[in-house]
Amino acid sequence: MAILQQGNTSSMPAKEFLTFVLGDETYALDIMTVKEIRGYEPATKIANAPSYIKGVINLRGDIVPIVDLRIKFDIGEATYNEWTIVIMLNVRDRVVGIVVDGVSDVMNLEAEEIKPAPEFGVAFDSRYLHGLAALEDQMVIIVDIEELISSDEIGVFESA
Amino acid sequence: MDNLSQYNEVFFEEAQEHLETMETLLLAYDIDAPDMEELNSVFRAAHSIKGGSDIFGFKALTGLTHVMENMLDSARNNELILTTDLITVLLETTDVLKNILSCYREESEIDWEIIEASKARLGATLQEVTGSGERVDALLEEDGEDQGFGFFDNNDDEDEEDQGFGFFEEDFDVVKDSTNEEDVGFGFFDENIGESNETPSEDENIGYGFFNDEPQVETPAQGNIKISLPTDQSTTPKILANKTAPSKTSETKSEASSIRVETNKIDKLVNLVGELVITQSMLNLIGSEVHESIADKMQSALIELERNTREIQEAVMSVRMLPISFVFNRFPRLVRDLSTKLEKKINLVIEGGNTEIDKNLVEKISDPLLHLIRNSVDHGIEMPSKRMEVNKDETGIVKLSAAQRGGEIVITIADDGAGLNRERIIEKALEKEISLPEPLSDNAVWQLIFEAGFSTAAEVTDVSGRGVGMDVVRRNIESLGGRIDITSAAGIGTVFTISLPLTLAILDGMTVEASDQVFIIPLVNIVESIQPIAEQIKRIKGKQLLWVREEYWPLIDIGKTLGGNTTATNLETGIVVLVETSKQRFGLVIDSLLGQQQVVIKNLERHYRRVEGIAGATIMGDGSVALILDVDSMTQFIQLNL
């Protein structure tokens, strides 16, 4: 990512991002971390877990935790129906599912199109942001999903 | 070297195996009746390590194995008779080699001093035995390249002591001349019998007496025959070598028929098969709802699928199974070393080494067994003098056996020693302020030795007696879902019986429901399940206790502690499962019992983190996830609750 930001774009192919919606905001994450996208299914609750960790589900034999980002960042409404989407992510050799309001599109972004994020104004701490990009006249917030999911703040991983 | 380094791991594993083979064979080596085939195997193992380490540039290994190899070579050529001392030194050398190997593996500093010391030791022992300084120098001389053969050449030139080869050829000629038969060996013997009848008393060495009679044999040959013992022996390996040829090829065959597979690949396979089983049972459910014309076809296809799935599951599970001899083979060495140190005479008998056990269990059962065997050797078996006094054989027997009984593996460690001392255990328990169980049955007394901090050894030896062993043993075994029992009789001996589940991946559990969620309680922990009546419920400081069987049982509300319920389950409508751990007994409050079933244990920490009170998760028949309770770690909830 560091290389991308240095702006060596001529030789660098555009990176693909998956955009998703939380509340009114559109976010994007590196598509290479996405394992699959599936519908929400009730998870098995886990004792003493924070409310945004919905529990664990069975993903083809693996027991995988589900994190509801809407609850975690208090955006949107945490309703669960047949349109509720879970993005299964591959992060640091683990699989974690995140619940979002919807998945919208896959977009190509050149490194130079990503502008530095302001220190405020988004639900996420700027540590977990790569920057902002414009998609038509909409602003897309690019999330460093690997950093976010493995952070102590989410607490899915054992803190080192 | 970089190209080679990818093979390092393979070399390490092979070298490790070779070292283990060497150790096993050296331990089994009978000084009085040496088995040349075994000696050859030891030599081959040493040679392989030497060759491999040379290629990969692990010079420390090359140097030491070289000296060892030369020593073994002279031994198999009968130029050197292996004594107990020599075998001990060889065993110590394998230990040093193991250390070096792990140094290379961990890429840590290599202690060259130890290697040199070990080389010197080999040399010194050799010198003592052979008394020939020249030979030792030849052995110790490090030539880097092809010492094995250089050594032989030397021998040929020396010609004074090593009649082995020079003479051997002559011998051959002689025989050929005399018999004119192709089948030299046997022709020679046949004739020998006939002629030796005529000259039985002439020479003590009948076989060679035959030579004396032989007219063609010339005087120099006779001179050789006079020093006939080495010849006699040098023919033996030759014949054996011929015999070993076929068995060698069969060995190579078996090597080629197995491959090394990373364990995580197998684990993945096991997981996928578990998933397949669930999908299959889901299909079965759907299939039973089909009513159209295809229903019959569907049913028979589903039955076929079910059978295939089951077979795949069995086959995959069997891949993970290893013979328990992987663990057992480490112990002859341990017993040999310990008995030497303690000046006891002990014979370790191993039975049922072929019993198969889950690979993960193999690794985890090793330490507890080590403790128990040490214990039997140190505390169980008496000193030889004492054994003689009580009319027992001077040599004590420690018997290690394994067998499969139903869904369990039963490992027993039995000794014919003094047995446990009931009075001393009670005395010790009082001294350590361990509360005595009621009633004080033998069995209850024996269980006391598993209490933390308990040790009856009068003094702490470096073999055992620190009192940390036995409670760790029990904890380890229980963490594997197993249990340990003791039977003991004064003067006759002690038997430790360990029962383990066949595999770590499967657990017998009771499925229960609390706060609309399914939990699994391991069956090993369950004492009984009851529906409490009002009179049994007592309160202390606002907390509920259950009065069952003259005992107060603290209660843990599963729905509240694990299920996220905010209100406590009503005890009078709920069910209490009484459970027992090594530390404590308590009751688990649940809504209802669902049934008993075997579940496949899945790790929760693979993608999530450790959760207090939860041992893992499993996937139920409908594809949903259920949590398996870790009853041992739940005791902490009691302290929080009370």
pLDDT band at B280 (very low <50, low <70, confident <90, very high): confident
Residues of chain B with Cβ-Cβ distance to A50 below 8 Å are none
What sign for the dihedral angle of Cα B476, B270, B597, B554?
positive
Closest Cα of chain B to A51: distance in Å?
Answer: 10
- Predicted confidence at residue B469, as pLDDT, reads 67
Alpha-carbon gap, residue A13 to A16, rounded angstroms: 9
pLDDT reading at B42 higher than 70:
yes
**Strand positions, DSSP E, B473-523:** 483-489, 493-501, 506-514, 517-522
Does B303 share its domain with B199?
Answer: no
pLDDT reading at B468 higher than 70:
no
Q: Between B272, B606, B625, which is nearest A44 by CB?
A: B625
Entry field: residues in chain B = 642
B408/B150: higher pLDDT: B408
B448/B239: higher pLDDT: B448
Does B99 share its domain with B6?
Answer: yes
Does B51 share its domain with B168?
Answer: no
Q: Between A61, A95, A157, which is nearest B275 by CB?
A: A61
> pLDDT tens, B349-402?
999 888 888 877 887 888 888 888 888 888 888 888 888 888 888 888 899 999
Asked, for residue A119, whether it belongs to a domain, the answer is: yes
Instruction: Report, in angstroms and rounded to the nearest whole number, the Rg of chain B calculated over CA atoms.
Output: 33
Give the residue on A whose Cα is nearest the Cα of B620: A58
CB atoms within 10 A of CB B102: 12
Alpha-carbon gap, residue B570 to B557, rounded angstroms: 10
Angstrom distances, CA of residue B241 to CA of B37, B150, B574: 8, 21, 76
Query: Average pLDDT in the B582-609 region?
Result: 82
**How far out from the chain centre does Cα B530 lie?**
42
- Predicted confidence at residue A88, as pLDDT, reads 93
> pLDDT tens, A94-139?
899 999 888 888 888 888 888 887 766 666 677 788 888 887 778 8
pLDDT band at A36 (very low <50, low <70, confident <90, very high): very high
Does B371 share its domain with B239?
Answer: no
pLDDT reading at B578 higher than 70:
yes
- Predicted confidence at residue B582, as pLDDT, reads 66
pLDDT reading at B13 higher than 60:
yes
- CB contact (8 A) between residue A94 and residue B274: no
Residues of chain B with Cβ-Cβ distance to A155 below 8 Å are 609
User: Residue B153 maps to which CATH number?
Assistant: 1.20.120.160
Does B154 share its domain with B177?
Answer: no
> pLDDT tens, B283-297?
877 887 877 778 888
Does the beta carbon of B609 lie under 8 angstroms from any beta carbon of chain A? yes
Closest Cα of chain A to B84: distance in Å?
Answer: 52
Give the residue on A whose Cα is nearest the Cα of B274: A61
Does the beta carbon of B63 lie under 8 angstroms from any beta carbon of chain A? no
Residue showing tokens 């009851």 = B530
pLDDT reading at B407 higher than 90:
no
Does B558 share its domain with B633?
Answer: yes
Does the beta carbon of B129 lie under 8 angstroms from any beta carbon of chain A? no
- CB contact (8 A) between residue B607 and residue A155: no
- Predicted confidence at residue B141, as pLDDT, reads 47
Q: Which residues pair with B575 in a beta bridge?
A: B590
User: Residue B575 maps to which CATH number?
Assistant: 2.30.30.40
- Predicted confidence at residue B81, as pLDDT, reads 76
Tell me how many domains chain A contains. Answer: 1
Does the beta carbon of B538 lie under 8 angstroms from any beta carbon of chain A? no
pLDDT band at B181 (very low <50, low <70, confident <90, very high): very low
List of residues 6+ apart from B602 with CB closer than 8 A: A61, A62, A63, B271, B616, B617, B618, B619
Residues of chain A whose beta carbon is less than 8 angstroms from a beta carbon of chain B are 42-49, 55-58, 60-65, 94-96, 155-158
- Predicted confidence at residue B639, as pLDDT, reads 56
pLDDT band at A89 (very low <50, low <70, confident <90, very high): very high
pLDDT band at B417 (very low <50, low <70, confident <90, very high): confident
B422/B201: higher pLDDT: B422
- Predicted confidence at residue B5, as pLDDT, reads 64
Phi/psi for A105 (5° steps) reads -160, 170
Give the residue on B whose Cα is nearest the Cα of A41: B624
> Among residues B501, B521, B540, which one ends one of the domains?
B501
Domain enclosing residue A17, as ranges: 2-147
Asked, for residue A107, whether it belongs to a domain, the answer is: yes
Residues of chain A with Cβ-Cβ distance to B614 below 8 Å are 46-47
User: Residue A129 maps to which CATH number?
Assistant: 2.40.50.180
Does B445 share its domain with B462?
Answer: yes
pLDDT band at B10 (very low <50, low <70, confident <90, very high): confident
- Predicted confidence at residue A62, as pLDDT, reads 83
Does B637 share its domain with B528?
Answer: yes
**Listed range (B37-46, B247-256, B322-331, B577-586) with the worst mean pLDDT:** B247-256
Q: Which residues pair with B351 in a beta bridge?
A: B401
- Predicted confidence at residue B131, as pLDDT, reads 57
pLDDT reading at B544 higher than 90:
no
Which of residues 493 through 522 in chain B touch A, CB cutoff 8 A?
Answer: 517-518
- Predicted confidence at residue B406, as pLDDT, reads 65
pLDDT band at B470 (very low <50, low <70, confident <90, very high): confident
> pLDDT tens, B295-336?
888 888 888 998 898 888 878 878 878 888 888 888 888 888
* Mean pLDDT of chain B, nearest integer: 73
Domain enclosing residue B379, as ranges: 323-501
Query: Average pLDDT in the B264-281 region?
Result: 80
Residues of chain B with Cβ-Cβ distance to A57 below 8 Å are 625
Does B495 share its domain with B548?
Answer: no
Burial of B6 (0-12, 13-18, 19+ CB in 10 A): exposed
Closest Cα of chain A to B564: distance in Å?
Answer: 7
> Among residues B129, B158, B187, which one ends one of the domains?
B158
- Predicted confidence at residue B110, as pLDDT, reads 75
**How far out from the chain centre does Cα B117 lie?**
30
Closest Cα of chain B to A87: distance in Å?
Answer: 15
- CB contact (8 A) between residue B274 and residue A61: yes
- Predicted confidence at residue B113, as pLDDT, reads 80
pLDDT band at B512 (very low <50, low <70, confident <90, very high): very high
Q: Between A48, A58, A95, which is nearest B619 by CB?
A: A58
- Predicted confidence at residue A120, as pLDDT, reads 64
Check if the beta carbon of residue B550 is closer than 8 Å to that of residue B544: no
Q: Between A43, A48, A95, which is nearest B607 by CB?
A: A95
Does B20 share its domain with B58?
Answer: yes
Tell me how many domains chain B contains. Answer: 5
pLDDT reading at B163 higher than 60:
no
Does B474 share its domain with B343?
Answer: yes
Which tokens hold the place of B343? 């000046």
- CB contact (8 A) between residue B625 and residue A60: no
Does B303 share its domain with B349?
Answer: no
Asked, for residue A156, whether it belongs to a domain, the answer is: no
> Among residues B204, B229, B256, which one ends one of the domains?
B256
Asked, for residue A125, whether it belongs to a domain, the answer is: yes
